[in-house]
Chain A
């Protein structure tokens, strides 16, 4: 460990692994350590199932729910938008070749106690029972507008003033409160209603991401990797390693060593690894972070698919905050043996939201009610941390904790922002050499 590096990355969560890969590719000498003996930190997928029981302090059950080894349980459930930033990063870095994905079967939205398939294109909108006949036409026009809108081409504005806020845009198309609700939360994936008073460009952009993602592989706009999300950090760690990054797992980090207000090394209690910058998750530098909220998640084992999803083997359900008188949405993700994360005939559903009350578990109830009978439930409330500064002075760059959203867009925003902060430049994917050779005979 007593060597000199450009960067020491601490924690092998997804964000840290992506950064480690990007930094190695950019020619930096990287040491990547983790106090755990496995990759992924909080982004790991726990296997076998008994590891989940141990993690939550429950008595292991062995093979009660099929073969324990067939389970790969994410602690933080998320899906990838098929046309989103993470997929672009996977493609640009070549990490996609280490992984296999499947489309998620369906995307649903909650209204008045029932769930409906999210109508994502004009055709589905016309067929959906989510809206009345006249509202359908208005919604169709809205989708058409979103698809064609180009802020630089006034011909596509169709009378919309680009300075309008989202609420005014809805009103322009005459969309009622119900349609606004599912458009903003199930299509644009806003977590609360703050976007309503912001510029409508965000709303248009996010609706567009949804429909472009849907157009790529079908069924739903979401992808999920076989064997769980824990495969993602490992893929990026591998990228870092083949570009010269050094990995040390099971390595306790005693101390970050500072000199003149900036970091100069990291100590494991015995040796000191020197470096000119550190990238880490909040757990490695708690004194440099502040708590900004809490997320509550319930991991549930089911022995049946979720009702009214056409027996989908993987689904997402969004419960818009207005529907249940909250400020933040409730998210339900369900995956199954189709993605190699459960034993056959079992289903893994995770309900999550941002904590608003003193009884977080009760806040999940509308989501839990949709699941039907639950065989086993693991509930956790975790604090969300953010760094107190941008790290430019201390040269300690800290990622934010993972939020309640069910996709990786905010994760990637944080990663790209961190990369720019610590290197002073934007990530240039053209630096990645083509990493696959094909040789004929």
Chain B
């Protein structure tokens, strides 16, 4: 669990809390406690059908399915993995869209507190690529301070002669030069053949952790009902003392 609050016994006064600056507070939230494993929220984003849930499944249990529709992911939309990045362990929590983008909008709450967005397209469908600038705008507007990573999926399906509606290297380079420093990483993967995925997750963990270390602050006054320990016991003992 990535509960972000200190337990009552480790209470720290709010003087240590630096939440005035939104950018700072986002990155500060990656710290479970002063001593816990840092944890980062990464949201999947991109057109319906580019394989976001396939990436999610590879991340979750390294499986692949050709079945389409919701049955395969029912009830599952987030998964946390611990990844070792050499010097230490960090946790990545990957969020899937739940298919809400199919006929509707995802809604602003999906973006809240995201440290990164993994923006996906299908390398054999240029339409899913040309629309990405709109998604980048969505992410910048709704998830302030989030890093953006670009991921071309279905690399196994590109015809050898490069024909069809594929995204070419030239397309990608042009896009990257237009985006300049907006992108923190660019990857090409195949969920079917399981190519490039582990390297991508590890690289993202690296980049996010480096970013976070450079902004380290403390924050610990969040409450998540059910996850945050109650102070009940503490409180009632208090009461006994005074009566």
Contact = CB atoms under 8 A, between A and B. Distances in A.
Interface in B198-243: 221-228, 230-232, 235-236, 238-239, 242-243
29 contacts: A39-B107, A70-B22, A87-B225, A90-B226, A96-B225, A100-B112, A101-B222, A102-B221, A102-B223, A123-B242, A214-B235, A215-B230, A217-B231, A223-B225, A231-B108, A234-B109, A238-B77, A241-B100, A244-B70, A244-B74, A246-B103, A248-B103, A249-B104, A338-B19, A432-B75, A436-B79, A437-B78, A439-B61, A441-B82
Interface residues of B, number: 51
Interface string B55-92: 00000110000000010011111111111100000000
For the complex, would chain A's binding face be called helix, strand, loop or mixed by DSSP majority?
A: mixed
A438 B60 CA distance: 8
B243 A97 contact: no
Interface of B: 1, 4, 19-20, 22, 60-61, 70, 73-84, 98-100, 102-105, 107-110, 112-113, 141, 221-228, 230-232, 235-236, 238-239, 242-243
Given A242-B77, A436-B80, A96 B224 contact: yes
B104 A247 contact: yes
Interface in A295-354: 337-338, 340, 344
Given A122-B243, A226-B112, A216 B230 contact: yes
Contacts of B60: 437, 439
A215 B222 contact: no
Chain A interface size, as a band, is 35 or more
Contact of B230 (A70, A217, A338): A217
Given A227-B112, A244-B70, A215 B231 contact: yes
A82 interface: yes
A121 interface: yes
A337 to B, nearest CB: 8
B227 A227 contact: no
A238 B224 contact: no
Nearest to B202: A441
A440 interface: yes
A39 B109 CA distance: 10
B129 to A, nearest CB: 25
Given A91-B226, A216-B232, A227-B109, A122 B242 contact: yes
A37 B141 CA distance: 17
Contacts of B108: 47, 227, 230-231, 234
Contact of A238 (B103, B109, B243): B109
Contacts of A97: 78, 224, 227
